[in-house]
Structure 1
Amino acid sequence: MNEAIIQLDHIGITFHQKKHTIEAVKDVSVSIKQGDVYGIVGYSGAGKSTLVRVINLLQIPNEGKITIDNDVTFEKGAVQLSNQELRQKRRDIGMIFQHFNLMAQKTARENIAFALRHSDLSADQKNQKVSELLELVGLSDRADNYPAQLSGGQKQRVAIARALANDPKILISDEATSALDPKTTKQILTLLQELNRKLNLTIVMITHEMQIVKDICNRVAVMQDGSLIEEGSVLDIFSNPKESLTKDFIKTATGIDEALAKIEEQDFVKNLSAGSVLLQLKYSGSATDEPILNDLYKKYQVTTNILYGNIEILESTPVGEMIIILDGEVSSIEQALSDLKNSDVKVTVLKKGAK
Structure 2
Amino acid sequence: MREPIIQLDHIDISFHQKKRKIEAVKDVSVAINQGDIYGIVGYSGAGKSTLVRAINLLQIPTAGRVKVSGQTFFDRKVNLKAGDLRQKRREIGMIFQHFNLMTQKTARQNVAFALRHSDLSKEAKAEKVDELLELVGLSERADNYPAQLSGGQKQRVAIARALANDPKILISDESTSALDPKTTKQILALLQDLNKKLGLTVVMITHEMQIVKDICNRVAVMQNGSLIEEGTVLEIFSNPREPLTQDFIKTATGIDDALVKINRQDVVKRLGANDRLVFLRYAGTAADEPLLNAIYRQYEVSSNILYANIEILDDTPVGEMIVVLSGQQVSSALSAIEAADVSVSILKGGQ
1:114-166: CA deviation from partner (whole Å, max 9, x where unpaired):
00000001111111101110111011111111111111011100100000000
Q: CA deviation at 1:302?
A: 1.6
Q: CA deviation at 1:221?
A: 0.7
1:88-124: CA deviation from partner (whole Å, max 9, x where unpaired):
1110000000000001111111110000000001111
Q: CA deviation at 1:250?
A: 0.8
1:27-66: CA deviation from partner (whole Å, max 9, x where unpaired):
1110011111111111111111211220122111110110
Find runs of 4+ consecutive structure 1 residues off by over 4 angstroms.
Answer: none
Write the distance in 2 (CA, Å) between the matches of 1:56 and 1:73.
8
> Which of the numbers 328, 344, 349 marks the counterpart of 2:346?
349
* Partner in structure 2 of residue 27 of structure 1: 27
Write the distance in 2 (CA, Å) between the matches of 1:102 and 1:243.
39
1:290-336: CA deviation from partner (whole Å, max 9, x where unpaired):
1111112222222111000001111111100000011111xx21221
The residue identity in structure 2 corresponding to 1:229 is I
Q: CA deviation at 1:80?
A: 2.2
Write the distance in 1 (CA, Å) between the matches of 2:242 and 2:302.
34
- Alpha-carbon contact 1:2-1:34 (below 8 Å) kept: no
- Alpha-carbon contact 1:60-1:79 (below 8 Å) kept: no
User: In the TM superposition, what are the counterparts of 1:20-59 in structure 2 within 5 Å?
Assistant: 20-59=20-59
| Unmatched segments (≥5 aa) in structure 2 | none
* Partner in structure 2 of residue 10 of structure 1: 10
Write the distance in 1 (CA, Å) between the matches of 2:78 and 2:178.
35
1:196-223: CA deviation from partner (whole Å, max 9, x where unpaired):
0111100000011111111111111111
Residue 335 of structure 2 is aligned to residue 338 of structure 1 = yes
Normalised to the residue count of structure 2, the TM-score between the two structures is 0.98
The residue identity in structure 1 corresponding to 2:10 is H
The residue identity in structure 1 corresponding to 2:215 is I
* Partner in structure 2 of residue 311 of structure 1: 310
Q: CA deviation at 1:253?
A: 0.7
Q: Aligned-pair RMSD on alpha carbons?
A: 1.2
The residue identity in structure 1 corresponding to 2:291 is I
Change beyond 3 A, Cα 1:214–1:338 = same
User: In the TM superposition, what are the counterparts of 1:1-355 in structure 2 within 5 Å?
Assistant: 2-76=2-76, 80-329=79-328, 332-352=329-349
The residue identity in structure 2 corresponding to 1:134 is L
| Unmatched segments (≥5 aa) in structure 1 | none
Could you say what secondary structure the match of 1:304 adopts? strand
Write the distance in 1 (CA, Å) between the matches of 2:134 and 2:259.
45
Write the distance in 2 (CA, Å) between the matches of 1:300 and 1:163.
60
Q: CA deviation at 1:2?
A: 4.3
Write the distance in 1 (CA, Å) between the matches of 2:342 and 2:242.
20
Q: CA deviation at 1:84?
A: 2.1
Write the distance in 1 (CA, Å) between the matches of 2:177 and 2:278.
34
Q: CA deviation at 1:267?
A: 2.2
- Alpha-carbon contact 1:73-1:81 (below 8 Å) kept: yes
The residue identity in structure 1 corresponding to 2:348 is K
Normalised to the residue count of structure 1, the TM-score between the two structures is 0.97
Write the distance in 2 (CA, Å) between the matches of 1:156 and 1:282.
36
Could you say what secondary structure the match of 1:156 adopts? helix
Write the distance in 1 (CA, Å) between the matches of 2:223 and 2:331.
39
Q: CA deviation at 1:79?
A: 5.3
Could you say what secondary structure the match of 1:231 adopts? strand
The residue identity in structure 2 corresponding to 1:155 is K
The residue identity in structure 2 corresponding to 1:130 is V
Q: CA deviation at 1:337?
A: 1.1
Report the identity percentage: 72
Write the distance in 2 (CA, Å) between the matches of 1:326 and 1:226.
42
- Alpha-carbon contact 1:39-1:219 (below 8 Å) kept: yes
Write the distance in 2 (CA, Å) between the matches of 1:14 and 1:167.
32
Write the distance in 1 (CA, Å) between the matches of 2:264 and 2:222.
34
The residue identity in structure 2 corresponding to 1:194 is D
Q: CA deviation at 1:275?
A: 1.7
Could you say what secondary structure the match of 1:43 adopts? coil
The residue identity in structure 1 corresponding to 2:345 is T
Write the distance in 2 (CA, Å) between the matches of 1:90 and 1:2.
22
- Alpha-carbon contact 1:272-1:353 (below 8 Å) kept: no
- Alpha-carbon contact 1:276-1:328 (below 8 Å) kept: yes
The residue identity in structure 2 corresponding to 1:122 is S
Write the distance in 1 (CA, Å) between the matches of 2:317 and 2:300.
28
Write the distance in 2 (CA, Å) between the matches of 1:133 and 1:324.
50
The residue identity in structure 2 corresponding to 1:337 is L
